[in-house]
Structure 1
């Protein structure tokens, strides 16, 4: 595989100027259009792949061919999803190649902070419910024709065993009481297996960084659609538990019409995932910054009333 070049501010500025001109965004911009817009990396690290361009655009550079394929698919998928969701999605104003064979897209910037910067309000939970509802209503067959892959549900019992081993390592580091995981018994993992039924479109990356949240707690937009799959909607409930907390995630899923089983399945997917993530992070294997991993652990393990009132023997109508 050819090594992707490391983008610099000068090369990104020239590329952005060209894309803005081709996309019509450079007309009437005067000196800025001539000199090029202000650019700066959106994330740290060597060879950043995402750059802010001025105040209104974001430029994403695919580092390899596979990422470029996902980015191209994402542009079409966003247009498919847009009519079904109540939140903003970025719009690509121009795209092309930033290096031979490497795709790039210049997108509109959705104004607002992130889910890590602002807490989601009760009205914001309704926004998330609308997002989950829209994902369920999006046409799966059309998404498949765009190349969105089908992914089978994860076996919760396998994840529970792995999380148990991670919990023991976290106990040695005084990070977690492994007895808390005893709530998820092997029979419970059977009860919380993914139910048969039509698969739905799953965003599959509803992290705090991909939620655009305003200062008043409204969810104004959602980013990161290149990871979307067709599969288990509990995965998005799990991601929201890590991003906004278990109670808010379950309330949003309930508003979206999901019953007890998918809500609790998502909750336990999140709780197992955060144990594995923090254990990996403490081992120095790059699962993310430790403060963020600890915050996700705290969010996922917030208690919810649904755990106390649900009797699976009586089905989902307990809600």
Structure 2
């Protein structure tokens, strides 16, 4: 059995108490307990609260400066252990912060936890990225190219094959028809990506780099002035097609900002457009699947990502060219 019971507030209190006994994390945040039924027992008075809403919580704020993440199963535990090593590898190459682990261990048999520093800022889902923030994203994309791929693979980071844009376009066409019937999308917009364009935007051989592979808004830490201060959750990283990260940014910050950041990072028109169309096809298939009742991310979020990815970039505003 690989799935453990969802950790409760008592589980988190127990882990935090053990950490405080071993080496208490420094924290100047609020000392009021989040659990008044057990005053002081939640970890020396540190405020403990789940991150996000819902019934299942595997990530918790501990005070004002730390985040406790609990792996839900053994596969996630394996990826978390790898992430600890990977973050140390990427840190010198990026212009943005990645979390620092101050403690790690097991919260249940075979299931890991990590206590990480909290990077100040808000979620990229709630905050817009400024022009200077786009330069931060360019530094991120450029820095990932500098990370030695072989060294990342030696840490256990898997190599991923490039996705077929032709297959994605075919799936997106089916999804577009369904979304049109629900008055969610005009299928004519997908005709901008022609069969010839699919061939032109095929993945380039030998262009494999370290890819974060999950650059969605909630993994970008954005300051009040729109700077990108950090990138979270490196558990899905692969060595593969770097346009996947351009696609992720299109979902997170919008197509124009993603293309501008990629261009600043030194990517030409073809990889920028490939990343853009990966994102656009993905948004159609994911939204259609969710509307059919398949489990997935909330519909409002999928609609927001669809809107961002389908924002017209400058080249599309100036010409009627298809791809």
**Alignment TM class, shorter chain as reference:** over 0.9
Alpha-carbon RMSD: 2.2
2: CA distance, partners of 1:95 / 1:141: 26
Alpha-carbon contact 2:201-2:274 (below 8 Å) kept: yes
- For 2:120, the equivalent position in structure 1 comes to 111
2: CA distance, partners of 1:312 / 1:83: 40
Are residues 1:81 and 2:85 paired? no
Alpha-carbon contact 1:85-1:131 (below 8 Å) kept: yes
Deviation at residue 295 of structure 1 after TM alignment: 1.0
2: CA distance, partners of 1:295 / 1:28: 36
TM score, norm. by length of structure 2: 0.92
- For 1:219, the equivalent position in structure 2 comes to 228
Choose the corresponding residue for 2:139, options 130, 142, 163.
130
- For 2:7, the equivalent position in structure 1 comes to 7
Change (3 A) 1:25 1:32: farther
Gaps of 5+ in 1: 314-319
2: CA distance, partners of 1:27 / 1:155: 48
Alignment partner of 1:144: what SS? Answer: helix
Change (3 A) 1:133 1:32: farther
- For 1:205, the equivalent position in structure 2 comes to 214
What number of residue pairs does the alignment pair up? 313
- For 1:230, the equivalent position in structure 2 comes to 239
- For 1:181, the equivalent position in structure 2 comes to 190
TM score, norm. by length of structure 1: 0.93
Alpha-carbon contact 1:191-1:312 (below 8 Å) kept: no
Gaps of 5+ in 2: 32-39
| Higher helix proportion | 1
Question: Which runs of structure 2 are paired with 1:116-195 in the superposition (5 Å)?
Answer: 116-195=125-204
Choose the corresponding residue for 2:306, options 273, 286, 297.
297
2: CA distance, partners of 1:27 / 1:55: 6
Change (3 A) 1:310 1:139: farther
Alignment partner of 1:226: what SS? Answer: coil
